[in-house]
Amino acid sequence: MSANHTVNRRIVLASRPTGAPTAANFRLEEAAIPAPAEGQVLLRAEWLSLDPYMRGRMSDAPSYAPPVEIDAVMTGGTVSRVVASRHTDFHEGDLVMAYTGWQEYALADGSGLTKLPAGFSHPSHALGVLGMPGYTAYAGLIDIGQPRPGETVVVAAATGAVGSLVGQIAKIKGCRVVGVAGGAQKCEYAVKELGFDACIDHRSPDFAAQLAAACPKGIDVYFENVGGAVFDAVVPLLNVHARVPVCGLIAHYNGGQVQADASALLRRVLTQRIQIRGFIIFDYYVNRPDLLAAFHHDVGGWLKEGRLRYREDVVQGLENAPQAFIGLLEGKNFGKLVVKLD
């Protein structure tokens, strides 16, 4: 550890947001760097992942995971380096995937740490295409969506960390892919760079009509990670036996209202025999080691072969994480959002 690294900077939850988070909900603190006890390692984060699920953890509403406590470090995945070790399985210099949160240094007892292979060329990819967002895209599409050649797959947040991979994997599986994104630049990227057949700007006043025109044979798989007006436009287009994997509802995370008529939706679910299934990716890590192995094999291979394109939105410095996260919930990022720690 170099002489100037004597302080651990961390960002804690200062207060719970009402609606959209603001800078006032976060606080940057300094603390002493802890020393590892027997069986522990000291980690220094090099990359921090920023993801929509973190908005849910800022709330104390009932959810699938406990909330971040007030004055506690914000939760989050990191790629960290072992800077001191008193653990037999980890050595100084090892690079690991960890859930150490929004801070520069942390202690770990080895549980929940995943060593990255020596020579891993893009460590930040372990937080994106080869990490939790990538597995979310793969598991939701393959296990629940079950895309078949010739079917129409629609994915919202089409240029984001999850959506961009859902669409590209669906193309590899022989599907017609229609993306939904915010703005002409993102839509152009989805078609020209990612290979989508079409991409519709959800900000367009005639969005629903454009989506219907882009899906002349209806929708067989809709990968849901947004909710809101996009879902309302999708529902009338869902075909008989359509599948809808639901991994997020970013349009509602800041308190947006659900407009859809639940009775009308259920009627369509019944008559069209639609399968809507929510999933939390952490369940797949625990229950489906076979699918995780297939994900690493398939996505790792497609990436090496150049069949998958992947874009990162890199923010420099821990102190800029709150503003970047606020922007993420507003759709301001372009690609997987990660923070490069100084």
> Cα separation of 139 and 153, whole Å?
15
Q: pLDDT tens digits for 231-259?
A: 999 999 999 999 999 987 765 555 555 55
The sign of the torsion formed by the CA atoms of 79, 83, 87, 91 equals positive
Predicted local confidence at residue 255, as pLDDT: 53
Length of the chain: 342
- Average pLDDT over the chain reads 92
Please give the structure tokens belonging to residue 313. 């939105």
Residue 120 burial (10 A CB sphere; 0-12, 13-18, 19+): middle
What is the rounded average pLDDT of the residues 319-342? 93
Closest CA to 246 of 339, 104, 95, 141: 141
The pLDDT-based confidence of 69 (bands split at 50, 70, 90) is very high
- CA 223, 224, 229, 230: dihedral to nearest 10 degrees? -20
Name the H helices within 33-152: 53-57, 132-139
DSSP letters, 11-30, are EEE-S--SSS--GGGEEEEE
> Cα separation of 76 and 60, whole Å?
17
pTM: 0.85
Q: How many CA atoms lie within 13 A of 162 on its CB side?
A: 28
Percentage of residues in the chain having pLDDT higher than 90: 81
Closest CA to 311 of 200, 167, 214: 167
User: Mind listing the domains of the chain with CATH numbers?
Assistant: 7-127+311-340 (3.90.180.10), 132-281 (3.40.50.720)
Q: Is the pLDDT of residue 217 over 70?
A: yes
